[in-house]
Chains A and B, each alone.
Chain A
Amino acid sequence: MSHLLEMRNISKDYPGVKVLDDISFSAEGGEVLALMGENGAGKSTLMKILMGIAQADRGEIFLEGNKEQFQSPKAAMDKGIVMIHQELNVLLDMEVSENIFLGREIKKKGIPARVDMDEQRKQAQAFLDSVGIKIDAKDLMRNLSVAQMQLIEIVKAISVHAKVIIMDEPTSAITEAEATILFEQIEKLKKAGVLIIYISHKMDEIFKISDKIAVLRDGHLIRVDETKNFTEEDLIRAMVGRELQDVYPKKTNHPGKVLFEVENLASGKYVKDVSFQIREGEVVGFAGLVGSGRSETMEALFGVSPREKGKLRINGAEIEIHNPKDAIRHKIAFATEDRKRSGLNLIGSIKENVTMVSLAEKISKHGIIQDKKEGEVTEEYIKKLRIKTPNGDEFVGNLSGGNQQKVVLAKWLLGEPEILIFDEPTRGIDVGAKHEIYELINVLSEQKKAIIVISSEMPELMGICDRLYVMSEGYITGELNKDEFNQEAIMRLASARKGGMTQ
């Protein structure tokens, strides 16, 4: 009997790099196959080949025993292979129904140029209802949450009778509650005999929902096996090719005197009244749900968005911050949540990105760039942070997520800040790179820097922070010291109302 999907001896070279080397595996309908590997391991390229976005140099693809070679994503889609990308491709100003039927609109009878909106809405609603999603087909896409948009993409996949659905980091931008809904849908798809290829960096998810795991490393298929035969350690070892002693490295830092204070900060509708302080050498976490105002607090104190009220003090002296330039002058750094939107110039080189913040102060004289120095500094940080790239002239857009994040960090570290804000520093990056970033945070705290970490992953916050603030609806609802850390306490504070503790 033939497999639903089989990829045989797939190889792909880019000049100087073997991206994929002789990859063979098969998978059946009704399975969730987790595709694991660090950034740059070749996962994306493999999926691009399956989707017809890229072509393999060697090797064959079989779908239900038939040899296929997809020249375009449309060709793959016609055979029932659909990919739900990490960055959702939706048209925000169109209706849900229009998004579901995009590219295969239902035409009015007799008038081939006109779309039959009523029929489309009816059918779209039927699909939505059948999956049990409470969304109106007439809603504008813009009014949906990210998680809902994702569900719409799944409905779209169902509506084209997809046999294989590839999901790339589907939970990277949604809450845990929303993820639960997603997992329910995945269960239903499994029952319907669909093969789901699931890409994620979140270990707990993988073990929860996958039946089989395929691990890629440096373009090689390291291991394919049933999930139950893997332990978490096995999986990490297979992915990084070495032992990681601890997910969260040991800390030896001892917080000193208070370095940075924020008093009664308010900004926009997300930040109502926020006060906190950080000591030298301290790592302070900010926990909370999406929309609790954590990122907005940092944006306000960094001068990205206007501040309505509130005082900022460094070493007891009040400072004025009206724009990011002021903040940088006061030795504050802010690695934002969304590196593509606000952390990087993707069409710029690594060099241009690394020196963006410090060009005027460190790399130039009288406004003229010192080329040699710029090259040296870039090289230094490429080595220091182990950014995987042939050289500093490479475009940042060509790097993997983890390496992009390292470029963001290099950009800020070059300015030798004293206060560092990391907003979701490990989102969408692999275990190895995560570990490197945790280690970096440790090193920085040993150097007496004050560090703020925002993260939606509670284990991460509890693993790397000395102290936690929990935010809810624009207020700080609680503060926890290391010995008080536990998930229940954080969750309770994160859903607390207006300023007061729930206890």
Chain B
Amino acid sequence: MNRKKINFKNYGIFVVFIVLVIILMILSPNAFAKPRNLINVVKQASINGVLACGMMFVIIAGGIDLSAGSVVALSGVVAAYLAQMQGIPIILPILGALGTGALIGLINGFGAAYAELPPFIITLATMSIVRGAALILSGGSPVFGLQEQFEGIAGISIANVIPILVLYFLLIAVFSGFILNKTVFGRHVYAIGGNSITAKVSGINVKSMLLRVYIICGVFSGIAGLLIASRTMQGSPTVGVGYEMDAIAAVVIGGVSMSGGSGKWYGTIIGALLLALISNGLDILGVSSNFQQIIKGIIIAVAVYLDLRGKKTSA
């Protein structure tokens, strides 16, 4: 059969990605193609990539999480708040950030699954609430004066070359891929997003699945918050505004359907890399950040259009 051809069409986003890389290599062979810069692209993609992985779970399950950006801020502030106390074991800020994420995820999941609020509404509400909590906890300004060890979490590089941030990103990406593809849990995520009634009749506890999916997204957002706090050595209550949109963009560019039930993990990784590639490339080409926004928007629309068209013709 001509399966190979069909698969190729299905992943038009890879083509877009490669074409973009080639264009940038031609336009800027000296600056862009340098290994250091390529590593930098992945580094730029890392935070969004971690968020996008969590978002991917939620979107495949048929939901959405608008609070992700706010969770980044609150968990960063919580981590910084704890890390600021001298002599406290470093594990506490870590647990603090992850726990914050898990708690907000729990609230989102409870609201969406058990109170049956539309996911858009409940996470819109927590987006606002969590941002407010971050501002109150930090007193409105960044939390400084953190223990030096705290920087070791995400602020260092391996052998001075590969930022440890990249490692977290890859680890979480592979972990997400494993869960979604290889486990019963992952399969059930697709099942509830594909048809929740069928999933229920088939013996899947849709509500508890949804709850867990939102917790995963919350924890991943918490991790992102922790990484940013460690890298910048502060807990800023205003960080992460709009990050949820970048995460959604990465997921959608990667071919995950907004209506749930379909999409592949590696698509999301490519999506996050593509977004980073665009801003990196445009920076190198000296395009002003205002123009970058416009170009980014156009590329998102075109990439998803090409991806969808590829899927249609192969069906």
Contact = CB atoms under 8 A, between A and B. Distances in A.
Contacts of A359: 184, 187-188
Contacts of B205: 323, 325
Interface string A309-328: 00000000000000111011
Interface stretch (B93-101, B122-130, B193-201, B282-290): B193-201
A49 to B, nearest CB: 17
Contacts of B182: 368-369, 371
A342 B197 contact: yes
A141 B261 CA distance: 30
A356 B203 CA distance: 9
Interface string A333-349: 01010000111111110
A15 B314 CA distance: 10
Contact of A15 (B2, B198, B201): B2
Nearest to A393: B3
Contacts of B2: 15
B141 interface: no
A103 interface: no
Interface in B195-241: 195, 197-205
30 contacts: A15-B2, A302-B201, A324-B200, A324-B201, A325-B204, A328-B202, A334-B201, A342-B195, A343-B198, A345-B191, A345-B194, A346-B195, A347-B194, A347-B257, A347-B262, A348-B194, A352-B190, A352-B191, A355-B187, A357-B202, A359-B187, A359-B188, A367-B184, A368-B182, A368-B183, A369-B183, A369-B187, A371-B182, A390-B1, A398-B315
Contacts of A411: 202
A414 to B, nearest CB: 11
Contacts of B185: 367
A343 B202 CA distance: 8
Contacts of A342: 195, 197-198, 200-201
Interface string A383-407: 0000000100000001000000000
A359 B262 CA distance: 18
A91 interface: no
Best-surrounded residue of B185, B187, B190, B197 (most CB of chain A within 10 A) = B187
Chain B interface category by residue count: 20 to 34
Best-surrounded residue of A304, A345, A352, A411 (most CB of chain B within 10 A) = A345
Given A327-B203, A343-B201, A359-B188, 16 more contacts: A304-B200, A324-B201, A336-B201, A342-B200, A345-B195, A347-B257, A356-B187, A356-B204, A357-B203, A359-B187, A360-B184, A364-B184, A367-B185, A368-B182, A369-B182, A390-B1
Interface string A95-139: 000000000000000000000000000000000000000000000
A348 B261 contact: yes
A365 to B, nearest CB: 10
Contacts of A345: 190-191, 194-195, 198-199, 261
Chain A interface category by residue count: 20 to 34
Interface of B: 1-2, 182-185, 187-188, 190-191, 194-195, 197-205, 257, 261-262, 315
Interface in A10-38: 15-16
B299 to A, nearest CB: 27
A304 B197 CA distance: 9
A255 to B, nearest CB: 27
A385 B259 CA distance: 31
A85 B7 CA distance: 32
A328 B195 CA distance: 19
* List of 4 A-B pairs having minimum Cβ-Cβ separation, nearest first: A345-B194, A328-B203, A325-B203, A342-B197
B181 to A, nearest CB: 8
A344 B198 contact: yes
Nearest to B187: A359
Nearest to A390: B1
Contact of B1 (A16, A325, A341, A347): A16
Nearest to B6: A15
A352 B204 CA distance: 13
Nearest to A16: B1
A327 B205 CA distance: 13
Contacts of A323: 200, 203, 205
Contacts of A341: 195, 197-198
Nearest to B259: A347
Contacts of A368: 182-184
Nearest to A363: B184
Contacts of B261: 345, 347-348
Given A341-B197, A367-B183, A368-B183, A348 B191 contact: yes
A323 B188 CA distance: 17
Contacts of A356: 187, 191, 198-199, 202, 204
B267 to A, nearest CB: 15
Nearest to B192: A345
Contacts of B188: 359
Best-surrounded residue of B187, B201, B257, B261 (most CB of chain A within 10 A) = B201
Contact of A348 (B1, B184, B190, B200): B190
Contacts of A346: 194-195
Contacts of A336: 201
Contacts of B187: 352, 355-356, 359, 369
A316 to B, nearest CB: 24
Contacts of B184: 359-360, 364, 367-369
A284 B211 CA distance: 39
A346 B188 CA distance: 14
A222 B198 CA distance: 38
A183 B72 CA distance: 63
B113 to A, nearest CB: 14
Interface in A363-380: 364, 367-369, 371
A346 B195 CA distance: 8
Nearest to A415: B203
Contact of A344 (B195, B204, B262): B195
A347 B2 CA distance: 21
Contacts of B190: 345, 348, 352
A304 B202 CA distance: 10
Contacts of A328: 202-203
Contacts of B203: 323-325, 327-328, 357
A440 B205 CA distance: 29
Contacts of A302: 201
Nearest to A356: B202
B288 to A, nearest CB: 41
Contacts of A371: 182
A352 B191 CA distance: 8
A390 B305 CA distance: 29
A371 B185 CA distance: 14
A107 to B, nearest CB: 34
Contacts of B202: 324, 328, 356-357, 411
Contacts of B315: 398
